[in-house]
Amino acid sequence: MTGTIARTGSEGTRVGPPPPLDHELAAPLRDILADLGGPLTPELIADRRARTVAGSLSDEDIRRGGAFELRELWVPGPPGAPDVPVLVCRPTATPGPHPVLYNTHGGGMVAGNNRTVELAGELDRAQELQLAVVAVDYRLAPENPDPAPLEDCYAALEWVAGEPGFDPARIVISGNSAGGCLAAGVSLLARDRGGPALLGQMLQCPMLDDRCDTPSSFQMEGVGLWDRLSDLAGWTALLGERRGTGDVSPYTAPARADDLAGLPPAFIDVGSVEALRDEAVEYASRIWRAGGEAELHVWSGAFHSFDEWVPDAVVSKTAQRARLDWLRRLLAR
């Protein structure tokens, strides 16, 4: 797993072996990788989509014994594009208008839907804080390349901001992995288009940089649940031959954005044993340098999406509590 040979990253940067895994995560990760296989390749996309369907939350899972009212809707899509499906979960214990957790799901840009297991974490937070949850089911690459996923997510945000029963001043966008990328990109778009004023952005182990050339990207090649090779495959599915070139929008790959001023407060977390670590840390640092607000957590010994795969580990429970606490403080302003 860890190895001892140093690797060479971009511009000749030398990186050591991967950091050690948390003791509660190491054995589960071995079992996960044995079942899942990898890294991601175009040939594995169908398998990943089938696993998405098999692991999707049921209506009963989402309603939580009547804690949420569930509706599935199609809302207006981007100009000239199809309508966008959304899942709307409204708390039943309190009257509206409710603050909203707006979820953009993960799946490496090629898989996932708005009922994946990460929605359970959003519902946990929403039930505790009496928030509505809206989860968007955007179009997937490679059949629908950039900017289709991003524009679907932005169009659905505009619908959320205008929907009766929601508090348009208290919308927090939240996403994991590819969903974290889309959440960051939508936050940039909303700023620059004069769109809905987001209260915050929660970026969980986000994919932010299509160039895949950070030290941690090279350090974790062939390591963990989402390594550099998987990252390259996901970005290539989205961008094709444009990946890594100068012809990539900063809204699509937010690490490319020159200006990170004027963004909503950000919560950014990532594992120390994952390829996306350094781009997440750099994104938070650049928000601070621009005078913005970001809370950054790097979970020691954690791999990509660790809390979804090993929810009972101490580090997973700590991460979930940190997200809830950040939301609680944000909503109390």
| 268-295 confidence digits (pLDDT tens) | 999 999 999 999 999 999 999 999 999 9
Q: Which pTM was predicted? A: 0.96
Region at 214 (left for phi over 0; alpha for psi -120 to 50; beta for the rest): beta
Query: CA triplet 102, 105, 108: central angle to 5 degrees?
Result: 150
Query: Region 300-309: what's the mean pLDDT?
Result: 97
Tens digit of pLDDT for each residue in 160-211? 999 999 999 999 999 999 999 999 999 999 999 999 999 999 999 999 999 9
Residue type, 38: G
Contact 141, 242 (CB under 8 A): no
C-beta pairs of 44-48 under 8 Å, 24+ apart in sequence = 45/110, 45/111, 45/142, 45/237, 48/107, 48/108, 48/110, 48/111
Strand duo 166-176 + 200-204: pairing: parallel
Return the number of other C-beta atoms located less than 10 Å from residue 31's C-beta: 11
> For the chain, what is the total number of helices (H) and then of strands (E)?
11, 10
Query: Region 7-17: what's the mean pLDDT?
Result: 68
